[in-house]
Chain A
Amino acid sequence: QSVLTQPPSASGTPGQRVTISCSGSSSNIGSNYVYWYQQLPGTAPKLLIYRNNQRPSGVPDRFSGSKSGTSASLAISGLRSEDEADYYCAAWDDSLSGRVFGGGAKLTVL
């Protein structure tokens, strides 16, 4: 059971906008930054969003992150077939004094 809760799956059609949620608590998301990673099949995770809503250089602006209270969301607009991947949220947890990940959400582009 992961400390951060994500839906196991999400789906959308090309061009659509999809969101993936990440629910935590006051000791993690509620008081620390949230990060999002994209893991394409057979590859290492890639940083997609850092510090709640910042995009690393090279990440398309179709990807955006937000945080409210103890929850965060990743939004992907203009969905493309190459966005089909697993998406993970992460944050520091003050109670655990360690980093925690969500269980991951598998995005399917229909």
Chain B
Amino acid sequence: QLQLQESGPGLVKPSETLSLTCTVSGGSISTGSYFWGWIRQPPGKGLEWIGSIYYSGSTYYNPSLKSRVTISVDTSKNQFSLRLTSVTAADTALYYCARGNDYGGNDDYWGQGTLVTVSS
């Protein structure tokens, strides 16, 4: 059974960089035609897609975050990562990693989510 687990700092200062890692277990991140992505949810609000990286290495980002986001894969560690620069309080959210089967979603496996708070 595939499992995804997010990890990273729970508190980030304004203007700094948020870095999260998603560790995949129970299967290889480099097997199959999947999209490995990040989705976030501000407290009490809805879901927002951040971006995805395809198995080929192609990346797709939310246009509203594109200038600040980088998603990368480390196949040797079976992990993929999120970097979000110049964070503000508006970036405070529960961050989920997920495996998608299609461009539009079809996310069949999710991590449990990790709360990141942006505050000084």
Residue of A nearest to B101 (CB): A50
The smallest beta-carbon distance between B43 and chain A, in angstroms, is: 12
Taking the complex as formed, is B62 at the interface, i.e. its CB lies under 8 A from any CB of chain A? yes
B105 at the interface (CB under 8 A from A): yes
Which of A34, A39, A100, A103 contacts B49, CB < 8 Å?
A100
B47 near A98: Cβ-Cβ < 8 Å: no
Does more than half of chain B's interface fall in helix, strand or loop, or is it mixed? strand
**Given contacts A98-B60, A98-B61, A98-B63, A44 and B46 within 8 Å (CB-CB):** no
B residues less than 8 Å from A34 (CB atoms) = 104
Q: A56 vs B96: C-alpha distance in the bound complex, in angstroms?
A: 20
Contact residue among A56, A99, A102, A103 (Cβ-Cβ distance under 8 Å from B108): A56
Q: Are B105 and A99 in contact (CB under 8 A)?
A: yes
CA distance A90 to B39 in the complex (A): 12
Chain A residue, CB-CB nearest to B47? A101
Residues A1-50 near B (CB distance < 8 A): 2, 32-35, 37, 39, 44-47, 50
Q: Which label, helix, strand, loop or mixed, suits the secondary structure of the A interface?
A: strand
Q: What's the interface size class on B, roughly?
A: 20 to 34
Return chain B residues, CB-CB under 8 Å to A110: none
- Inter-chain contact B106/A47, CB cutoff 8 Å: yes
Identify which of B63, B105, B113 contacts A90 (C-beta below 8 A).
B105
- B82-117 residues with Cβ-Cβ distance < 8 A to A are 96, 101-108, 110-113
Q: What are 14 contact pairs spanning A and B, CB under 8 A?
A: A32-B103, A33-B105, A34-B104, A35-B105, A37-B47, A44-B112, A47-B105, A47-B106, A50-B106, A92-B103, A98-B49, A98-B60, A98-B62, A99-B49
Residues of A near any B CB (own CB < 8 A): 2, 32-35, 37, 39, 44-47, 50-51, 56, 86, 88, 90-92, 96-104
